[in-house]
Structure formats: C-alpha cells, structure tokens
Amino acid sequence: MQITTERLSKRFRREWIFRNVDLRMEAGNSYTFVGPNGSGKSTLLQTLIGVLPASEGVIRYTHQGKTVEVDQWFQCVVMAAPYLELIEELTLLELLTFHQSFKPFRQKRSPEQLCELMHLGHARHKEIKAFSSGMKQRVKLALAFYSEASVVILDEPTSNLDKQGVAWYREQVRLLAAPLLLIGSNQPEEYDFCPNVIDIMRWK
C-alpha cells in the first residue's frame, strides 16, 4: 500500500492549516507527524485518509501499482484517536463482534482472544459506557492493532493511558510490521521507534 500526495492543502475559512504537502509513504514503514498543539496534526491525518476533504491538491492510494478506489479504500484503513467514539451501549464482547463483522481481525483472532490481548478479559461483559477513559483508549488501540488493515493511523495514541497502558502500547505497536503506520504525536515515547519523523510546521 502506498499513499502519495501532491500539493495537498487544507483550509478552514481563511486559515490555512497546512499547504503544499508532498509526501510518498509506503507499507512496511512508519511515519510520525509532530508539531505544537493545534498545529494541524490530526487534521492532516484525517485528510490523508479521506475523513476530511482536501481544499487543494491530490491524494493517491495505490496497491501493487494499481489505484485503490475510494469505496475500497475504507476497507484498507483503521484509525485510533481519543476523539473517536465507541458504541457505548454495547458490551466489550458485543463491540468486538460487531466490528469483526465488517473488518476481520488479524490471524483470525476471536473477540474473546482480543479481550485477553488488551488485558480487559475481566470487563468483557461490561458496557463500554461503564469503562474508564483509559480502558476506552485501550479498546480503540486494540481495534487498530488487531484489525486486518493495510494502513494504521494512531493519533495521540497514549492519551488517557496509565503507565501499564503505555507499556502495552509500546509492546503492541512494534508488532505492526507490514502495514503503513502513521502517527500524530508530541510524546517521544509514542514514536521513538519511528525512523521518519516529520514536523508539520514545515507546511505552514
């Protein structure tokens, strides 16, 4: 999988969030976007995967030299971010089973196995609305880590995590060998393994 941008730009009203972004990002690599709070890291990540429309420029998604169409693209990508919502009326097992129905898990893992992998087996029958913010963030990360997807997006991945949660994140993120991994972060412990660190301020 490959994402290529040419002069990609995003504007909200009269303010340019970023301008003229030229990138070429390929599977098997990780890329971290850094910058001050409010600099546009989340906006760039959401624009790169098509959640937000670009104001100018072009984004191309290709796989083995062939264009990936938009209706197929969303089957290839998964994202974890603290601002994304979970279906809080479902139990953890129900949520994982629902997610699995449209995006299977890597290595054909079952929802029960995922509960154990994220160290939340004790809460498998608890509704998501009863979870702490740290537990919810761990669920979001697990859906990104374990889903079959060619592109994994992690925005502020250790938000709300305690020390054990951060250690779990660092262990799991290093296992993502094949996908294209994109991270938005200001915390070195979230991306110190990443060889490609890009300051978003270069596009201001």
For residue 202, how many C-alpha atoms fall within 13 Å in the half-sphere facing its CB? 11
- The domain that holds 74 is classified in CATH as 3.40.50.300
CA distances from 71 to 74, 77, 171 (A): 6, 12, 33
pTM as predicted: 0.92
Q: Give helix 92-100 / helix 133-146 axis angle, nearest 10°.
A: 30
Mean pLDDT of 174-189: 90
Domain total in the chain: 1
- Predicted confidence at residue 65, as pLDDT, reads 85
Q: What is the tens place of the pLDDT at every residue in 112-142?
A: 999 999 999 999 999 999 999 999 999 999 9
Minimum mean pLDDT range among 6-15, 93-102, 122-131, 172-181: 172-181
- Give me the domain span that covers residue 130: 2-203
Q: What is the tens place of the pLDDT at every residue in 62-75?
A: 988 899 987 788 88
